[in-house]
A and B are shown apart, each in its own frame.
Chain A
């Protein structure tokens, strides 16, 4: 099946990038040492400092500016009635809304990470936290050498090759074959909604009289793992058209909105605090968050999809999660994937 060869090619790339990863780690510590947040002397809190001394860290200025421009959508997050629970603790983005184009957003968003991790090549962001965590990277690279997701790729291939009851197969729906990641997600003009690869897989099954697969894990994750494996090296290429601006803006708003009892937005951790530690875990960059799925997570002991991870993130901030493949997460994926345009797909991947 050529599995071994592809893996070796992939690993060669990732090992070569190790050196760059370590350069980035150094730059993190340099940044950290300049960061007033880490200063242990008897200073006022960062909030007071911002207000009083006027001496604000570069990161803070940058983030405030970005938030101001990126949060282009009016602030109130109107959750659907069936998810009223999630709204209980939701606050709103604080910056004044300002209309921007997706291209401008992308430039701003990138510039933040480029400043934060100078010298880190764009492709490296496909490796998530391991792009910036030198210590964890060695273990991760070792795991990727005999990856625990391999049996799932095999299972996905078997599912792909197995004919449906009507004699057709996935190939009937995806005539170009399983390497489809570069085509998703996209905005379907006719249906006015974001189509993800998961939706396309299930629609293929249903159109051929088969039972749809459950989202999040299991067989769906295995099929995606095989398709992702075959798509390795393709690059994210999400087009935001005028028709899809509403979906894009909803995704963007979701990303920057506080939610849950802990009142965190996605951006608070993976943008504003990227490279800092929660207990001993380094917070991964938002850039590249959509490229390595599905993921075999040691914590799960199995494969999971991007939307399964979204659910986990929402639960961690003590917000009621949305449904995998529901409109909220598909819009979020659309926004996030657009921000990762140009970054290669390297799923499936291993994460702690």
Chain B
């Protein structure tokens, strides 16, 4: 598990990092490239728990995660709830398609996570 945020490890303030993250897709690419050079979280669980990546715990209770939020439903029995894995993936990639008022970020559509990271998170969710 990471002890520091990746922003801190780059030696920039979170505010500056957020500014960098707020620029359009093209300009995001260097950030992602830089992130890849670091020892980035590699498991779905790490990506899901990392505050700067999935940060799923901000809204969802997940077994093994500390101080979860309660804006979204607890992530449990995911295979039962989403027998169709593609549907769960679509929900992560752009929840606004299923519910226009959704409060869940569009992790795929806005490139908050890479396609590969979404796949890893998806596999992790299926273990819950």
Is the CB–CB distance between B69 and A320 below 8 Å?
A: no
| Complex contacts, A264 vs chain B, CB 8 Å | 103, 105
| Complex contacts, B99 vs chain A, CB 8 Å | 46-47, 50-51
Interfacial residues of chain B within 31-88, with CB under 8 A of chain A in the complex: 57-59, 61, 67-74, 76-77, 80-82
Q: How far is the CB of B106 from chain A (nearest CB, A)?
A: 6
Name the segment of B4-12, B18-26, B115-123 touching the other chain: B18-26
Interface of A toward B, CB cutoff 8 Å: 32, 37-48, 50-51, 60, 63-64, 67, 85-86, 88-89, 91, 94, 260-264, 268-269, 272-273, 276-281, 283, 314-316, 318-320
Is the CB–CB distance between B58 and A278 below 8 Å?
A: yes
> A47 touches which one: B67, B98, B111, B112 (CB < 8 A)?
B98
Knowing A43-B81, A262-B110, A272-B101, the reply to whether A318 touches B73 (Cβ < 8 A) is: no
Summed over the interface, the residue pairs from A and B with CB atoms below 8 Å come to a total of 109
Cβ-closest chain A residue relative to B105? A262
| Complex contacts, A276 vs chain B, CB 8 Å | 69-71
| Most interface-central of A39, A45, A88 (chain B CB within 10 A) | A45
| Complex contacts, B30 vs chain A, CB 8 Å | none
10 additional contacts, CB 8 Å, given A48-B98, A85-B22, A263-B106? A42-B77, A45-B82, A45-B91, A46-B72, A47-B98, A88-B22, A261-B21, A264-B103, A268-B103, A280-B69
Closest 7 CB pairs of A and B: A47-B99, A88-B24, A94-B100, A47-B98, A280-B67, A42-B80, A262-B105
| Complex contacts, A60 vs chain B, CB 8 Å | 101
| Complex contacts, B71 vs chain A, CB 8 Å | 37, 273, 276-278, 283
Cβ-closest chain A residue relative to B88? A45
**C-alpha spacing A280/B58, complex, angstroms:** 8
Cβ-closest chain B residue relative to A259? B22
Knowing A40-B74, A46-B99, the reply to whether A318 touches B57 (Cβ < 8 A) is: no
| Complex contacts, B58 vs chain A, CB 8 Å | 278-279
**C-alpha spacing A279/B71, complex, angstroms:** 9
**C-alpha spacing A86/B24, complex, angstroms:** 8
Q: Is B1 an interface residue (CB 8 A)?
A: no
Cβ-closest chain B residue relative to A84? B24
**C-alpha spacing A281/B72, complex, angstroms:** 14
| Complex contacts, A43 vs chain B, CB 8 Å | 73, 81
**C-alpha spacing A319/B19, complex, angstroms:** 8
Knowing A89-B110, A279-B58, the reply to whether A263 touches B70 (Cβ < 8 A) is: no
| Complex contacts, A319 vs chain B, CB 8 Å | 22
**C-alpha spacing A88/B57, complex, angstroms:** 26
| Complex contacts, A261 vs chain B, CB 8 Å | 21-22, 105, 110-112
